[in-house]
Structure 1
Amino acid sequence: MVNPGFIYLLGAVILYFTKGKLRDFLAVMISAIGLLWIYNLPVGEGMKVAFLDLDLILVNVNNISRLVGVVFAFFGLCTMIYSLVFSDKKFYVLSHIYVGGSLAVLFAGDLFSFYFFWEVMTISSYFLIFDRTKPITEQTSYYYFLMHLVGGVSLLWGVLMNYSITGSILLRTVEYGLPFFILAVAIKLAFVGFHTWLPRNYSNVPFHISVLLSAYTTKVGVYALYRLLGAVSVQYAGVVTAIVGVLFALQQTEVRKLLSYHIVSQIGYMIVGIGVRNSYGIAGGMLHLTNNILYKGLLFMVIGTVIYSTDKEDLIDLGGLSKKLPITTFCGVIASLAIAGAPFLSGHVSKILIKNASSDPILVWGLFVAGIGTTLSFLKVMYFGFFRKREVEVKRKPNKLMLGSMLFVAGTIIAVGLMPNVITDLFNLGVQADYFSLSYMWKSLQPMLLALIIFKLAHDIIEPHEHDHVDRDIYPVIGYGINYVGGVLSKVQNGDVSRYILWLLTTLAIVWVSFLV
């Protein structure tokens, strides 16, 4: 067996040396081959490589990694088709390295390979974001890199600590170095408090790049949570993430920034499911991961199409697009209903499994509140962006590739919602549920109906309007503090040997006096 990520990494090299229509064709074919390869992977280990005194396991397939890998590859294929009109050599090469690194992480069987491909993701995504010609992306990409550098160093430190004590590099629930693993995972999956890199970057890059980014980095973080941190109880932290993320999202008027905060909120659902650690919770959490790739990716495609057609993305400036962009509107409605958990769509399936995994009232009511906020957010996006009466000029019609890829993803969302047990059986997730029972459908509809009432009553409050931006990010302050202390120390360290000797003698005197006392 060959790790599917290698197909994309090799493809990136090939794409670097091709151009024009041939490069377009190869980009799509590589993604299609990768999808078929992952779908047909057998469960088990393969492709072991000796490195120094270690046996690296480059392929280890289980049902969860295969499920996530299929959706990773499927969405990568849809993104390639969506982006063909806008793609250049940089995007083709880096996107394949990024997707390849993400897939290689899923199928790595040892901690060192896992770490290596984790960093391949970080470096390739950094260069995808970086653009020297745009000061905002140059700044935000540097911020992105620093945050993920901290996460990468933490992961490496945890791996080394766990290996030095256990003598094993097998990828499994870790026993030692937990604080370092927790920090690495928290940054990668954008846990509240460590999420600040996400909205800064996803809302400022070209829209086809934000479509790609929305599917992988945070989802690999969730997968790492599932594989590495089984001993950590995180379900209550997941509820906090779900609620806080949706509150941040409701404040936004720029759609991509709203969607970015909603990634944080939906990650909370996944954390809850995985944190409960029973079969329904894990299956629900991982299905929610794959569903989120589909409907959140589709929403980024929808707003990307709006940007392409109108050169606008702020809800304050949008409206009346339902008649001018009917296919885009249809896809937006499907994705919005899916993320809200509407019956017969994919989000209903995973949310029902997560909610049924535990009867803990904190989890039940916390996710209920988050569900209301989710519906409110996408009522805000769809009504004010597409259905309210306002004339917005459509400067160019979306091309057929964009529309086709969006319809393909929307069709998949509907198919998963209509045939959920086929999906759970296909990937041997070990759960069965009557998703279309009246009680389950009523459970899904309750937060949506309450959100409709709130939207009607609080219409004027929810309506997009200009407001002062409040930056709640503490990390720049910490950075300025470190720079200031470093500047002071650099001035003190002036190379004067007599001053250093005086400091040393003074310190020794203080220590000596403290012992005497």
Structure 2
Amino acid sequence: MIEIPPAFVYLLGLLLLPALTGGARKVWALVVGVAGLLLAVSLPSTAPDLAFGFIPGIETVLLTVDPMRHLAGGIFAVSGLIALTYAAYRDLPAAETIGILASIGAAMGIVYAGDLITVFVFWELLALASLAIIWFSRAPESSGAGYRYLLFHIFGGACLLGGIACTTVATGSAAVGPVADGAGLLFMLAGIGVNAAFIPLHTWVPDAYPRASVVGSVALSIFTTKAAVFLLAAIGGWGVAVAYMGGAMALYGAVFALMQDDIRRLLAYSIVSQVGYMVAAIGTGSVAGIDAGLAHMVNDILFKSLLFMAAGAVILRTGLQRLSDLGGLLRTMPATTLCAVVGGLALAGLPGLNGAVSKGMAIEAAGAVPYLSPLLLVSAVVTVIYVFRFLYLGFFRPAAGTREGLLPKDPPVPMLVAMGATALLCLAIGVFPHLLTDFLPGGTAAHAFAPAHLLESVGIFAAAGALLLLVPPLRRPWTGVETDIDALYIRAGHGVVWFSSHPLVHAADAIGSAIERVVGRFKHISANPTVAFQIAGKTVALPFVRAFSGSETSRAYEEELMFLKDHYPDVQTTIWGGGYGLIFISIVAFLYFIIDITR
């Protein structure tokens, strides 16, 4: 029996979407999501590779199955179905629905691909699908955000393709696996790093995600960065530099999340931070580290999509998305508040929720790399603080008096079903970690309720609580800081534009004028070369004639020079004397001698 790549279910299913409208389109999308999930979970672990020879000498593997792929494929299919359920609350534009289904299909294609060529094809499809989600959100700033997203991912795709080409040429194989040191490794790491939001290639995440629709943000939070994390784990062998990059991402993203007022921008920076935990764990290179990175990938998909769904429900009902404008939602949106609390505390790493399981595994695995665990612990403290701000300012803080009677109710049933199912998964994995760890490729166990881990969690929450008590501004709303390292990109872009429009243009004009003068001079000389050289020679000799000859001779010399200039190029003269011929013959003979001895 030939197994079907799950990606094909989604990609074939979306072909029918443009012909459907209203409820039929929503039902069909859900049917495709269910079919993809059933196919993914039914794939046998010993299924033979589905390979083709599209490229001479290179085997293209559309389907290969192992425990790592089972885990990633399962969570992408589950989260994709949850996102489609959440989207069923209204009729999405066909293009946006196609973008969501294509994103699921592309992510599944990356997961089950056995060669880098296939990975690259689905990699680019994922970028295009995400771009469709951003551009068709109809948000005022989505056009510019999508364009900037496209620029980043063109660069990332080009780097990934360069790395694949270098690796394939060097090894003769395009199989997914460790990459040898050299240009191929650097190019591939840069290409994956764009999608994984490596610092400083991360700015597309907080730029694009808040500009998508409330449904689009949920889909975006699931696939692009997590597919990059999976590929990072599947290739492996990166070295501790990647682990330290993960630590930097964890702290950088957490600090910038703390400084945000826009709730989706806060969650976007949180993606950067939590992906940092995954990258740090995978970068250690150990089995426990790879398992920890994959486990946190699964858990972050769950609690981060839950938080984006809760944020979307708030935006849908209030039309507001800044913490400084929110408050008092507990009374009128209790179900949404409960889901937000579950997602937020899971993100913060509260024992009993899924975030504590994998975050503890990541910090423990990071202990193999000097100074990495303390960096992740500090990031965890900052995470608790910005989670507190998100929950308190958005849901528990008393509402402003003028808006007391205007607070909305919980969102439609499809949104509540999607949020409730995700919250239950966060709780189930938190209470029973083996529901996740049994599927890890290395079989690493989690010790979420071990005394050492519980003490670590107590220390993190105690440190965050102390800072919240000692620093009152942390408990108050602020306008937020939206300037990131992309300000340097913008300044550099302005510099390039200025250089191109001023110094470069002036230099080009000067070079053009110089070339015109040189061409004009050559044209002038070519009209009568013999007389031109005579004029040049006489002009050079004139000061010496004046200095060493009498007045009559000088006057005659000057008159002859003026005559040649005035009548150039019509004046005719001859090269007199046999000496010129002898000189010419001597030059030719000398050149022949030089050429002969250098053979």
Corresponding residue number in structure 2 for 1:167:
172
Q: Which of residues 55, 70, 73 is equivalent to 2:74? A: 70
Identity of aligned residues (%): 32
Q: CA deviation at 1:160?
A: 0.9
Q: Provide the C-alpha distance between the structure 1 equivalents of 2:347 and 2:137, rounded to a whole number of angstroms.
A: 35
Secondary structure of the corresponding residue to residue 119 of structure 2:
helix
Structure 1, residues 6-30: CA drift from partner, whole Å, max 9, x if none?
1111111022222222211111111
Q: Kindly tell me: are residues 419 and 390 of structure 1, through their superposed partners in 2, closer, same or farther at Cα, counting changes over 3 Å? A: same
TM value normalised by structure 2 = 0.80
Cα deviation 1:264-304 (Å, max 9, x = unaligned): 11111101110112222111110001100000000000010
Find 2:407's aligned residue among 394, 400, 407: 394
How far residue 60 of structure 1 moved from its aligned partner, in angstroms, is 1.4
Match of 1:137 in 2: 142
Shift of 1:348: 1.1
Q: Which residue of 2 aligns with 1:265?
A: 273
Task: Kindly provide the amino acid, as one letter, of the partner of residue 389 in structure 2.
Answer: K
**Is the aligned partner of 1:457 residue 2:470?**
yes
Q: Report if the CA contact (8 A) 2:295-2:436 is conserved.
A: no
**Whole-angstrom CA distance in 2 between matches of 1:467 and 1:347:** 26
Query: Tell me, what secondary structure is at the counterpart of 1:451?
Result: helix
Query: What are the superposed Cα offsets for residues 54-89 of structure 1, whole Å, 9 maximum, x if unpaired?
Result: 320011112112111111111111111111123221
Alignment RMSD = 2.2
User: 290-299 or 182-191: which moved more?
Assistant: 182-191
Deviation at 1:358? 4.1
Q: Which residue of 1 aligns with 2:535?
A: none
Q: 1:173 & 1:306 partners in 2: Cα distance?
A: 44
- Contact kept, 8 Å, 2:93 with 2:136, in 1: the verdict is no
TM-score using structure 1 length: 0.92
Q: CA offset at residue 52 of structure 1?
A: 3.1
Aligned match for 1:100, one of 83, 99, 105: 105
Asked if the contact 2:6–2:39 (Cα under 8 Å) also holds between the matched residues in 1, the reply is yes
Matching of residue 214 in structure 1 with residue 230 in structure 2: no
CA deviations 1:485-511 (Å, max 9, x no partner) are: 4446577668969828959x9xxxxxx
Aligned residue type for 2:314:
V
Choose 233-242 or 255-264, whichever is displaced more. Answer: 233-242
Unmatched segments (≥5 aa) in structure 2: 522-599
Name 2:30's counterpart in structure 1.
28
Tell me which moved more, 433-442 or 88-97. 433-442
| Residue 480 (str. 1) matches residue 483 (str. 2) | no
**1:201 counterpart (208, 225, 231):** 208
Distance 1:48 1:85 in 2: 40
Give deviations 1:379-414, integer Å, cap 9, x for gaps.
001011111112442345411111111000000011
SS at structure 2 position matched to 1:343: coil
- Once the two structures are TM-superposed, the CA of residue 236 in structure 1 deviates from its matched residue by 1.6
Tell me the SS of whatever aligns to 1:61: coil
Secondary structure (helix, strand or coil) at the match of 2:202 reads coil
Q: Which residue of 2 aligns with 1:55?
A: 59
Q: Is the 8 A contact 1:256 1:303 kept in 2?
A: yes
Match of 1:122 among 98, 119, 127: 127
Larger mean Cα displacement after TM superposition, 212-221 or 474-483: 474-483
3-state DSSP class of the match of 2:332?
Answer: coil
Larger Rg: 2
- Aligned to 2:88, which of 79, 84, 88? 84
Aligned to 1:436: 449
Distance in 1, matches of 2:451 and 2:339, equals 26
* CA offset digits 1:100-130 (Å, max 9, x no partner): 1111011111111111110001111112111
Structure 1 gap segments, 5+ residues each? 506-517
Deviations 1:86-105 (A, max 9, x none): 32211211211111111101
CA separation in 1, counterparts of 2:298 and 2:33? 17
Distance 2:110 2:122 in 1: 6
Q: Check whether the contact 1:192–1:245 (CA below 8 A) recurs between aligned residues.
A: no
Q: Is the 8 A contact 1:67 1:427 kept in 2?
A: yes
User: 1:276 maps to which residue?
Assistant: 284
Measured against aligned partners, the alpha-carbon deviations of 1:240-276 in whole angstroms (never above 9, x if no partner) come to: 1111111111110111011111101111110111011
Q: Is the 8 A contact 2:236 2:285 kept in 1?
A: no
- What is the aligned residue count? 504
Aligned 1:82-481 pairs, distance under 5 A? 82-86=86-90, 87-131=92-136, 134-175=139-180, 176=182, 177-233=184-240, 234-359=242-367, 360=369, 362-391=371-400, 392=403, 393-395=406-408, 397-466=410-479, 469-473=482-486, 474-481=488-495
Partner in structure 2 of residue 511 of structure 1: none
Deviates more, 1:427-436 or 1:101-110: 427-436
